[in-house]
Structure 1
Amino acid sequence: MKKYIPMIISGIIKENSNTYAREVLLNNNTLFIAIPDETNIELAINNDVKNKLTLNQIINFLYTVGQRWKSEEYTRRRAYIRDLEKFLGYSREMAKLEANWIAMLLCSKSALYDIVKNDLGSQHITDEWLPQGDCYVKALPKGKSVHLLAGNVPLSGVTSILRAILTKNQCIIKTPAADPFTANALVSSFIDVNAEHPITRSMSVMYWSHNEDMTLPQRVMDNADVVVAWGGEEAIKWAVNHTPPHVNILKFGPKKSLTIVDNPEDLTQSAIGAAHDICFYDQQACFSTQNIYYIGDRLNEFINELEKQLMLYARILPKGDQSFDEKAAFSLTEKECLFSGYQVRKGENQSWLIIESPLNSFNNQPLSRSVYIHQIYNISDVFPFINKNTTQTVSITPWDSSFKYRDQLAECGAERIVESGMNNIFRVGGSHDGMRPLQHLVNYISQERPSSYTTKDVAVEIEQTRYLEEDKFLVFVP
C-alpha cells in the first residue's frame, strides 16, 4: 500500500484530493506528498478565521491535544512513531522520544503561559489593553504566518507552530520533504480534538518543492504577514528571495555549537552531559555539540569516561539509520584522522566516533555522533572558535564555570550558555538565536493618553496651541 501524505487546508484534511502528488524516497521507502493546486492555495490564503480566544482558552485547547499525545495508545501518536522509524530511519527509542516531547510541549501549561509573559512582558497583553507608561498597549497577531520548516529537527516545527498559536496567528505550514510527518500529525491531532475549533480552522499544512514552478508558492509568500524560516543556508536564501520586502522574516538558519569541559572533579558527570549533547538528534540540530574543548590535565581520563557514556547512549538512545553516503563519510573521516596521526576511537557499527586533534586542525565533520576533542590550557583558546551569528549553544561542565566565562563568551558571540546535557532544552525566558521570537509575531498597538493626562515631568495639561501663542514652551521643559 502506497503511503500518501495529504494536505490540510484551513483545518480540513484533503484525503481525496486529485491534485498532483510528488513522489519522495525516504530511507529507501517511497511515499507521495500532495502538492497544492490553485484552488487549495486560494483557500489557504483567503482563510478568514479569526482567533478571538483568550490565552487561557488557547492553552487549554493545546493541553487537551497534549493529553492525547501523552497516551501511548493514541492512534495518531503510534502512526507517527512508525513513520519516523520507517521513513526517517529513527530508532524506536528516538521516535518515541520525539512523540513524548510533543506531549510535553503541549501539556506544559505553566511553561506556555510563561513563554508569553517572558517574551511579550505580560501574559495578558494579547487579550487586553494594558497601561504602560503614558499609554494603553495591546499585542495583536501579525495575521498569516508562513512557516518554512526544516527536516533535521522535527520539534523545531512544533515549536514554530506553537509560537504562532500563542500569539493568535493563522498558520500556513510548508513541510520539508525530509519530514512531511510532524506538522501533519500535529495539526491532524487538533482536528481529532475539535475540527471546528478556531485554532484548527486557522491551520494549513502543505508541501512544495523548490525545484518546481514557484508561481503558487510565491502567492503564499506574497500573502504572508510574517515568515518563519528554518533550515540550511539554501533554505534561508530561498525564504529571503521570495519574501516581500515589507514582511518580517524570523530566520533560524544554520548554526554550530560546542562544549567546554573546565577541569571537572567529577569526570563521569561531565562525560554524561557531553555524551547527551553529542547524541541527541545524531548531531543534526544547531545546538548539537561537534567540538569539545578540554581544560585540565586529565584529558585521557575524560575521554575514557566519554567513551563509556557514548556506549551507554548507543544502547538507551540508538542512532538512526545511516545512508550509504553517510556511512562512507563516517569511514572517510576516521581514515583521514588516523592518517593525520590523531588519536581515534569508534563504537561498534559506527555508533560513535571520538577524535583527539590539535586545536587548529579540523577535518570533515560527518556528524552521526562524531566529536573532535581539543586540549586547551586557557579559556581564551576557545574564543576564536566562537563567532557571532554562527555559534549558537555553548554547553559547559561543570556548571559553576559558566559564571566565570559567560561575559567573555557572550562578547565573542555565543547565543546560549547551558549546562552540558541540557542543549536540547530551551529554558523559558531564554533567547532563541539572539531574539525573543514571540515579539516578532505580534504588532504592538498603543492608545496614547489625552492632553488632559499629566505626566511625571509635566504636571499640567498639554495645551500646545496655547504654548505657541504665549511662547512659553520652555517653561515646561523639565
Structure 2
Amino acid sequence: MSTATTHAPAGTKIRVPHFVRGRLVWGEDTEYLSRDFGVPFVTPRLQLTELFEPRNRLGPAFDVPVAEIIDFLVETAKHLTLEKNAYLQESLEMTLQVSALPRRIIENTFQRPGQFLTREALEYRLERTFGGTDVLDGWVERTDPNGRVSRVRAFPPRLVHMLAGNSPSAAMTSIADAALVKAVNVFKMPSADPFTTVAVLRTMADIEPDHPVLRSMSAVYWRGGDAKVEGVLYRSQYFDKLVAWGGGDAIANAAKYVGPGFQLISFDPKVSMSVIGREAFTSEQTLREVAELAATDATVFNQDACLAARHICVEGDIEQADRFCALLCERLGVDREFASAVGPKPSGDIREAVDGLRFLDPEYRIWGDYDGRGLVVRSPEPVDFHPTNKTVNVVPVATMLDAAAFATVATQTVGVYPSHRKAELRDRLATAGVQRVVKLGSALTGSMGSPHDGMYPLHRFVNWVVDDDA
C-alpha cells in the first residue's frame, strides 16, 4: 500500500499532475509510493471542495445531447494514437517506471480502446443498455396498462471512480463511460498508473477546452483508504455512487461508506477458469492447439487480469491431463500481444505452497519452475492458494459438468473447448455464479454491448427518476 508524506521535495521524483474540472493542476506538495515497486511520485495538494458541483446546481453536461457527447468522444479517439500523442507518450514512459508490465505490452494496451470508441460501438452500447438515447436526453412519457401516465429519465449521476491499475486502457474506457451518462465525476487514479487518465483529459482539453464533458471531470490521486479524503468525498451530500475496481481490501474499505443515498457499484476481484473437453485429445496436433488457446487465456497481462484463467478443468484421466500440462507449461513461456515470455516470478507464498505439494502422493504433479516462464500444478481439486504470475492449476474431471462444481460467485470468465459444448455447461455455470462463458482462447476479446460482471454498468450508473401523474 502507498504511504504519504506532505511537503516532499520533488528531486528526481515523478511529477503527477491533477486535472480538476477542466483545469490542469501541477504541484509537488505530497509524496506517494507506487504499488508494485515503491517508486516515489509527487502530486499537488488535494483541494476537496473543488471536486464537486453543489447539489443545487445541474452538472455541466446534464443537458448536453448524447449525440454531441459521442461526437466529442469520437474526435478524442482520433487523437489517442500513441505515435502522435505527446501526452500518451509521456504517460507511457512514466508508467514503465511503476508497472510490472514490459513496454511492448503497455504499448499494445493503448491500442485496445480504439475498437470501443467508434461511433458505431458507442451507439450500439447505448442501444443495448437503454434501448436508445431518448431516456438519457430527457423525460420519456409512458402509459401503463391502467392508463396512468409517467415520465422517466435516466438522470445524470455524480460518481467517484476508483480506477483499475492493471491496464492503461481502463482509464480511457472509464472516461467514455462517465461521459455517456453525463455524470459529474471524480476519478481516483491508481498508484500503478497515476498518469493515463490525465493524459486522456489533456488530449480532450486540446480539442475543446471548455467542453461541458471536460468540466464534469476531475482526476486526482490520494492514498487508497485515506479516511481524511474518503470520509469527505464518499458522502451522499456530494456524490451518488462509488464505482470501484480493485482488490478485496480496497473493495472492503469502499463498502464501509455505503449508506442511504450513497451506493457502491463494485467490480470485485474475480478468478477465471477454463474447461476443456475430451475432444482435445483427438490428436496430438489438436492437443497442442488447445494448449496454446489455454495459455493465451491464462497469460493475459501476465495473469494480472480478472479474466485470466487460473484453474483449468480437463475432461480426462490423469495420463491425459499430464500430457496437456506438459504442453501448457511449454506455451506459457511465449511472448504474446498482452503477455511476455518471462513475467514476474511467483511470490514466496506460491513457492512455499507448491514446494509442499511436491512431496504429496501422485495426485499432485508440478511442471515448470519459479523463473516467471510458467508453472503448472496438477491436483485432484483446485489448490487452496491463489495462482498468479503465470501459475496455472489443472484439475482432471470425469465430465465437463463436474467442473461447474468448482465455479463460484467469484468466477468471472470461463473459457470452454470445444465451443459447441458451452451450451451444455452455461446454465450450471450461471447457477454457480459465473458471469461470462467464452470460447477457449478468447477471454480478452469480448462482444460490444454485453454485460460486465453480471450487470450493464451504464444502467447502474444513472439515477432512474420518475415523474408520475398517477
TM over 0.5: yes
Instruction: Tell me the equivalent position of 2:271.
Output: 256
Instruction: Tell me the equivalent position of 2:52.
Output: 45
The structure 2 residue matched to 1:291, chosen from 276, 291, 311, is 311
CA-atom RMSD, angstroms?
Answer: 2.7
Matched, 1:117 2:127: yes
Matches within 5 A, 1:10-409: 10-15=21-26, 17=27, 20-25=29-34, 28=37, 30-34=39-43, 36-37=45-46, 40-46=47-53, 49-51=59-61, 52-106=63-117, 108-134=118-144, 135=149, 137-210=151-224, 212=226, 214-222=227-235, 223-264=238-279, 265=282, 266-296=286-316, 298-313=320-335, 317-318=339-340, 322=344, 326-340=346-360, 341=362, 342-346=364-368, 349-359=371-381, 362-388=383-409, 390-409=410-429
The structure 2 residue matched to 1:8, chosen from 13, 19, 25, is 19
What is the distance in 2 between the residues matched to 1:192 and 1:423?
35
AA matched with 1:150: A
What is the distance in 1 between the residues matched to 2:310 and 2:181?
34
Gapped runs of 5+ residues in structure 1? 451-478
AA matched with 1:219: V
Displacement of 1:371: 0.2
CA separation of 1:211/1:146 partners in 2, compared to 1, >3 Å: closer, same or farther? Answer: closer
Displacement of 1:263: 1.8
The 8 Å contact of residues 276 and 400 in structure 2, kept in 1 or not, is answered as: no
- Secondary structure of residue in 2 paired with 1:79: helix
AA matched with 2:233: V
Residue-by-residue CA offset, 1:241-287 (whole Å, 9 max, x unaligned): 12442222201112211110112343344223211211102222222
CA separation of 1:141/1:188 partners in 2, compared to 1, >3 Å: closer, same or farther? Answer: farther
CA separation of 1:347/1:81 partners in 2, compared to 1, >3 Å: closer, same or farther? Answer: farther
- Secondary structure of residue in 2 paired with 1:421: coil
What is the distance in 2 between the residues matched to 1:448 and 1:217?
36
Residue-by-residue CA offset, 1:44-88 (whole Å, 9 max, x unaligned): 123764213222221221122211223523212222222232211
What is the distance in 1 between the residues matched to 2:131 and 2:341?
40
- Secondary structure of residue in 1 paired with 2:134: coil
The 8 Å contact of residues 157 and 463 in structure 2, kept in 1 or not, is answered as: no
Displacement of 1:147: 0.6
Instruction: Tell me the equivalent position of 1:458.
Output: none
AA matched with 2:180: L
Instruction: Tell me the equivalent position of 1:474.
Output: none
CA separation of 1:98/1:333 partners in 2, compared to 1, >3 Å: closer, same or farther? Answer: farther
More helix by share: 1
CA separation of 1:393/1:317 partners in 2, compared to 1, >3 Å: closer, same or farther? Answer: closer
The 8 Å contact of residues 27 and 87 in structure 1, kept in 2 or not, is answered as: yes
What is the distance in 1 between the residues matched to 2:303 and 2:339?
13
Displacement of 1:35: 5.4
What is the distance in 1 between the residues matched to 2:356 and 2:200?
43
- Secondary structure of residue in 2 paired with 1:355: strand
CA separation of 1:188/1:414 partners in 2, compared to 1, >3 Å: closer, same or farther? Answer: same
Displacement of 1:370: 0.6
Displacement of 1:312: 2.9
Instruction: Tell me the equivalent position of 1:455.
Output: none
Displacement of 1:322: 3.1
Identity percentage of aligned residues: 24
AA matched with 2:13: K
What is the distance in 1 between the residues matched to 2:435 and 2:199?
31
What is the distance in 1 between the residues matched to 2:274 and 2:228?
44
- Secondary structure of residue in 1 paired with 2:137: coil
Displacement of 1:188: 2.5
The 8 Å contact of residues 402 and 417 in structure 1, kept in 2 or not, is answered as: yes
Displacement of 1:4: 0.8
CA separation of 1:320/1:177 partners in 2, compared to 1, >3 Å: closer, same or farther? Answer: farther
Larger Rg, first or second structure (1 or 2):
1
The structure 1 residue matched to 2:461, chosen from 434, 441, 464, is 441
Displacement of 1:335: 2.3
What is the distance in 2 between the residues matched to 1:280 and 1:109?
27
What is the distance in 2 between the residues matched to 1:112 and 1:232?
28
The 8 Å contact of residues 229 and 236 in structure 1, kept in 2 or not, is answered as: yes
The 8 Å contact of residues 337 and 363 in structure 1, kept in 2 or not, is answered as: no
CA separation of 1:418/1:121 partners in 2, compared to 1, >3 Å: closer, same or farther? Answer: same
The 8 Å contact of residues 9 and 203 in structure 1, kept in 2 or not, is answered as: yes
Displacement of 1:328: 3.5
- Secondary structure of residue in 1 paired with 2:311: strand
The 8 Å contact of residues 279 and 313 in structure 1, kept in 2 or not, is answered as: no
AA matched with 1:188: R
Aligned length: 440
What is the distance in 2 between the residues matched to 1:315 and 1:277?
12
What is the distance in 1 between the residues matched to 2:273 and 2:225?
34
Instruction: Tell me the equivalent position of 2:430.
Output: 410
TM-score (norm 2): 0.85
What is the distance in 2 between the residues matched to 1:402 and 1:300?
24
Displacement of 1:128: 4.0
